[in-house]
Amino acid sequence: QVKRRADYQPPAFFITNVELTVHLHPHSTRVQSTLHIKRNGTHQHDLVLDGEQLNLVEITIDNQTVDHHKVTDTALIIPSVGDEFILSTVCTIAPDSNKALEGLYLSNGVYCTQCEAEGFRRITYFLDRPDVLATYQVTVHGDKKVLPTLLSNGNPVDKGDNDDGTHWVKWHDPHPKPSYLFALVAGDFDLLTDTYTTMNGKQVALELYVDKGKLDRGQFALDSLKRAMKWDEQVYGLEYDLEIYMVVAVDFFNMGAMENKGLNVFNSKFVLANPATATDEDFFNVESVIAHEYFHNWTGNRVTCRDWFQLSLKEGLTVFRDQQFSADMTSELSNRIKHVRVIREHQFAEDASAMSHPIRPDEVIEMNNFYTVTVYDKGAEVIRMLHTLLGKDGFRAGMDEYFKRHDGQAVTCDDFVSAMQSVTDLNLTHFSKWYSQSGTPEISVTRKREGDKTLITVSQRTPATADQQEKEDLFIPLGFSCIDATGQQYQDRAGKVTNGILLLDQQQITLTYDQQESELIPVVLANFSAPVRIKQSLDSTELLAIFLHANDDFNRWDALQQLYDWCISQYEANQQVDETIWEGLKSALSSEKTNFELLSECLIIPSFETLCQSRTNINVETLNAAREQFVREFAERFEPELLAIYQSISLADYHYDQQDVIARRCKNVVLAHLGRLQQNSELVQQHYTQSDNMTDTLGALKAAQQGHSDPFNALMDSFGERWKSDPLVLDKWFSLHATTEREDILSHLTMLQAHPQFSIENPNRVRALIGSFAFYNTSGFHALDGSGYEYLTDYLINLDSSNPQVAARLVTPLTQWQRFNKHHQHKMKTQLARLLEQEGLSNDVYEKVSKSLAYE
Ligand code: ARG
Ligand code: ZN
């Protein structure tokens, strides 16, 4: 079942034109397909088309009946076909029983599709692989009353009524595309429209389809789309290429959204937003996901992937582009910190687990398992390093060259790197190791005084990972500077650091400084210039000096995070944190008390997840208690200062505007600390009552949750009642319940599963309740008796039989057993073994669980 990148073969046939006629029906949709097929070369192979869960009713070649074909569970095999012919098939499929949400399915009465990666084969027989590009003509028939809107990719070219109360619309997409970009949507929507005029004066109709009654929540997404279109023209010179751009919001969706050509399908959570129901973070995510899918039109659709091992070609690049966009629309620092948290909390954890893989994987059982933080987010970090190395203009030149060479093609990551290579004198051969080597490089920095100079040695080592024993040295652009305790900057003697970057292109480099009086403090990894871990022993005074004096705000934030981490480890070891350190922290924080952006980031104590990254053999109880103790003492000691900050921020009516967002965030971060102290429960209640927006409401609830039970329960009841018929808001309520630390958490979860608005069939609900518990309820999930692990496992066994993709995502916390101590490891593996024994286990869950159990 394992597929290997090295085994790639070009397709035996090409399909150049596709005509589909689809008659929609809940349990018997009829898909009639006409394919123009051409042999690729002179071989005599059978024609083998992918197909799953299809019921084949008719088949002809060039209008002649076919009777020598063979149908298996996964394919249609036709021997001895000609070199060029037309294959017509009719299949029926059942959208209403499709709970895996792959292929054509029903979401609350709306027909929609999800074809990436390999879902098109659940709609009709096809060469369902990204290097087969075809133009599509699609006619959709459906009941006129129930399904007034019938959509597919491209431009609408014709429509009409049938005699039986149905109607039809014909769509034509002139751009050849792989089958994973196919989409079909039908339903009864409210529609928001607008137009966009491109840089060359072309008019594009913009259409946003939402559930009836939700029009007032669509405007922000539509405005975001226009901002993204403009930005891509300004920054990359890329213009939209069809007459119409459609976005549809659906409630049942496995992922965030999908970039189908001209017809994006979105999880409603990344489209619908207004101040009453969406937080600032939700608004941010809507804008960023809308942009991400729009940017795919060039990086993904016009230039697509040759095979699925190349997924990062489009995803890493598109994530990088959406990150640049978000930074331009909002602010650089908080965006960068957000990405770094994702890398450190999730990507480093993936590297350390049995699922470790390079951004361009070599082996895959189930492709859906590789839509990972490694492929997406580490992939984006690799692109970012290229951007750092080539500079803004160089990178743009490389992108221009990439489109010039490959527009309309299905290509590889190597093709991308060679387009970049053609515009730079740097040799990118060594750099491209980042595509094939997995794991997190560790950079050690050591200092030595020698006579009248100081030597600083920077070295690299990548520890072995589950998938690769041998590691080589990488080409790493390392943000680097040197200061002393007073903040004075120093240059190395040989000028090896240029523009703040040290190119670590070998195992180690030693820098020489002419300095003997004061101790030098290396400030490493400015702006998180590479996805690496830094190993360096700095004491608390030096960390505070970096916070006070370094130029780079990321370094400053990071220094404080390290100091917090160190304090927590003191508590783990049953030791005290020195008064002088508390004093240092106090003055450091107060020096930034009006810089709300940096301040809020610095007031966030590293999460349990982040703390796990700097530890091994973790005793969950001890670490969690140490963190709790630190956070509580932090709140107690700094209460007056925190209160003062809280009171210094006053905001008028809600606006999603950058300055307000930053101030509101700071206020809510401060409140979360204050909420731990019983005496502030009135303040928290007041924050809740006075809120005119979801950001503050949720901030109050989270603060109350820190204070345990009172007034948390009362506020949760009032919140649940107020929003009981709003699924997206209710997800926040489910998630707050699931992350609350309480003795009876498991019976509480069981009760919530019976809530009328909860449904195992809706991935958003499942992620809100079960996902939040497994990923973020530290004490509940890691209960010593293993009951949290057992609870998740029971749930996954059930979920896997209907939705394997979501089940495989939620198994992740169990597969990360290696970071915990033997006691937890044993309990986690027991549950993984129980999963593996399940009959009919999906490929998705099988791949992750079997790898995890085989890992030592
Ligand atoms: N290409 C989509 C995006 O990142 C995600 C599709 C995920 N599909 C999947 N089967 N996991 O925008
Ligand atoms: Zn994407």
Query: In the 8-state DSSP scheme, what is residue 576?
Result: P
Report CA-CA distances (Å) from 307 to 9, 128, 311, 360: 10, 11, 8, 11
Nearest C-alpha neighbor of 526 from the set 443, 603, 454, 464:
443
Counting residues of the chain whose pLDDT is more than 70, the rounded percentage is: 100
- Residue identifier of the C-alpha nearest atom 3 of ligand 1: 258
From the CA of 316, the nearest ligand is 2
Ligand 2 centre to CA of 224 (Å) is 17
Q: What is the enclosing helix (H) or strand (E) of 135?
A: strand 134-143
- Residue identifier of the C-alpha nearest atom 5 of ligand 1: 258
322 near 373, Cβ under 8 Å? no
Ligand 2 centre to CA of 316 (Å) is 8
Q: Which residues contact 131 (CB under 8 A, 6 or more apart)?
A: 10, 11, 178, 305, 306, 307, 410
pLDDT at 264: 99
pLDDT at 452: 87
Q: Which residues hold their Cβ within 5 A of ligand 2, which is an ion?
A: 315, 318
Distance CA 743, CA 62 (A): 69
Ligand 1 centre to CA of 734 (Å) is 25
DSSP 214-252: -GGGTHHHHHHHHHHHHHHHHHH-----SSEEEEEEES-
Nearest C-alpha neighbor of 492 from the set 476, 518, 510:
510
Residue 257 in contact with ligand 1 by CB distance below 6 A: yes
Q: What is the enclosing helix (H) or strand (E) of 190?
A: strand 190-197
Residue 293 in contact with ligand 1 by CB distance below 6 A: yes
Query: In the 8-state DSSP scheme, what is residue 767?
Result: I
Candidates 255, 292, 844: which one to mutate for ligand 1, based on the most atoms within 8 Å of Cβ? 255
pLDDT at 676: 95
State pLDDT tens for residues 420-448.
999 999 999 999 999 999 999 999 999 99
From the CA of 321, the nearest ligand is 2
Beta bridge partners of 88: 34, 60
pLDDT at 709: 67
Ligand 1 centre to CA of 368 (Å) is 8
pLDDT at 517: 76
Which residue type, as a one-letter code, is found at position 633? E
Candidates 115, 371, 376: which one to mutate for ligand 1, based on the most atoms within 8 Å of Cβ? 371
Residue 259 in contact with ligand 1 by CB distance below 6 A: yes
- Residue identifier of the C-alpha nearest atom 8 of ligand 1: 116
731 near 720, Cβ under 8 Å? no
Residue 251 in contact with ligand 1 by CB distance below 6 A: no
Instruction: Compute CA 712 distance to the chain's CA centroid, rounded to the nearest angstrom.
Output: 31
Residue 118 in contact with ligand 1 by CB distance below 6 A: no
Distance CA 308, CA 820 (A): 33
Residue 101 in contact with ligand 1 by CB distance below 6 A: no
From the CA of 290, the nearest ligand is 1
- The structure tokens listed for 660 are 């307000």
DSSP 433-478: HHHH--S--EEEEEEEEETTEEEEEEEEE---BTTBS------EEE
The residue whose two tokens read 């692990």 is: 789
Distance CA 350, CA 579 (A): 38
Ligand 2 centre to CA of 414 (Å) is 19
Report CA-CA distances (Å) from 356 to 308, 352, 373, 477, 847: 17, 6, 11, 23, 12
- Phi/psi of residue 520, nearest 5 degrees: -90, 145
Ligand 2 centre to CA of 355 (Å) is 20
CB-side neighbour CA atoms (13 Å) of 278: 26
Distance CA 571, CA 706 (A): 20
Q: Is 381 a catalytic residue?
A: no
Write down the pTM of the prediction: 0.98
pLDDT at 179: 99
How long is the chain?
856
- In this prediction, the residues of the chain whose per-residue pLDDT falls under 70 are 516, 708-709
503 near 477, Cβ under 8 Å? yes
500 near 516, Cβ under 8 Å? no
Give the ipTM.
0.98
Residue 255 in contact with ligand 1 by CB distance below 6 A: yes
Q: Please, what is the end-to-end C-alpha distance for the chain in angstroms?
A: 23
Residue 368 in contact with ligand 1 by CB distance below 6 A: yes
From the CA of 371, the nearest ligand is 1
Ligand 2 centre to CA of 480 (Å) is 32
- Residue identifier of the C-alpha nearest atom 11 of ligand 1: 368
Distance CA 104, CA 113 (A): 4
pLDDT at 138: 99
Of 293, 315, 572, 628, the active-site residue reads: 293
Which ranges in 769-821 belong to alpha helices (H)?
A: 772-776, 778-781, 787-800, 804-810, 812-815
pLDDT at 491: 95
Residue 660 in contact with ligand 1 by CB distance below 6 A: no
pLDDT at 110: 98
Q: Which residues contact 537 (CB under 8 A, 6 or more apart)?
A: none
